[in-house]
Amino acid sequence: MANNKNNAPENQNAIDNLDDSLNDITVKVQNNQKPLIIGLVVVIVAIGAIFFFKNRSEASSQKADTAIGLADTQLFAGNDSLALEQYKQAAELGHDAGNRASLNAAIMLYEKKDYEGAIKYISKYSPKEALVGAAALSLKGDCYVNTDKLADAVKAYKDAIKQSDNNPYYTPYFMAKLARVYRAQQDYSAEAKTYEEIQNEYPQYAVSTGINIEKYMERARLDAAK
């Protein structure tokens, strides 16, 4: 289609030159037909483009599905290194399969302590589901913590909290991670406020985990008052 677009001016000039060589009546007929012909060509090209991109998208999606299937097979067989490389390849293909491949690659890189590599692939991942998406964003925060990028970690954990949609277990878990980053930044007021929110909004979290939220909150308040 690119070639047709490039040749369009030349084709139009040829039609105009042909019109000039005809008598007045023929020229009038041609001039009346040209908008109709051009419009018809535009419609035909548009329809062709729709089918072309639809077929190409379907083929691309199938390619991504096949690629991640091969990666899953290698992972289940215990071939972690090969699986990781195939997940990386699948991640570049896009679609839902490529999105999941990005997350899988990030998890495996994190386990290898390749935090920069994990950040690269987790950044390709688009969270679409509350808990899985929130866990992925939390993983991103963990990567930033391990690379001493605390401001980025704060943002990632806040995104995870938002994505988790007030889940009674995971939301306060991500909030607790955020509070620890605030402490590392020596932002004790923000740390205390976060623990207070956990205590007030998710009181069952401390009970179910055995974490003494009140103790950490009071410590942060004392440090903020110094």
pLDDT tens, position by position, 75-97: 777 777 888 888 888 878 767 77
The domains of the chain, with CATH numbers, are 1-126 (1.25.40.10), 129-226 (1.25.40.10)
Position 51 pLDDT exceeds 70: no
Q: What CA–CA distance (Å, rounded) separates 23 from 12?
A: 19
Confidence of residue 156 (pLDDT cuts 50, 70, 90): very high
* Sign of the dihedral defined by the CA atoms of residues 206, 183, 163, 131, in that order: negative
Say how many C-beta atoms besides its own lie within 10 A of residue 183's C-beta.
Answer: 19
Alpha-carbon distance of 98 to 116, in angstroms, equals 19
pLDDT in tens, 160-217: 999 999 999 999 999 999 999 999 999 999 999 999 999 999 999 998 998 899 999 9
- Predicted TM-score (pTM) of this structure: 0.70
- DSSP letter for each residue of 98-139: HHHHHHHHHHHHHHTT-HHHHHHHHTT----SHHHHHHHHHH
pLDDT of residue 55: 43
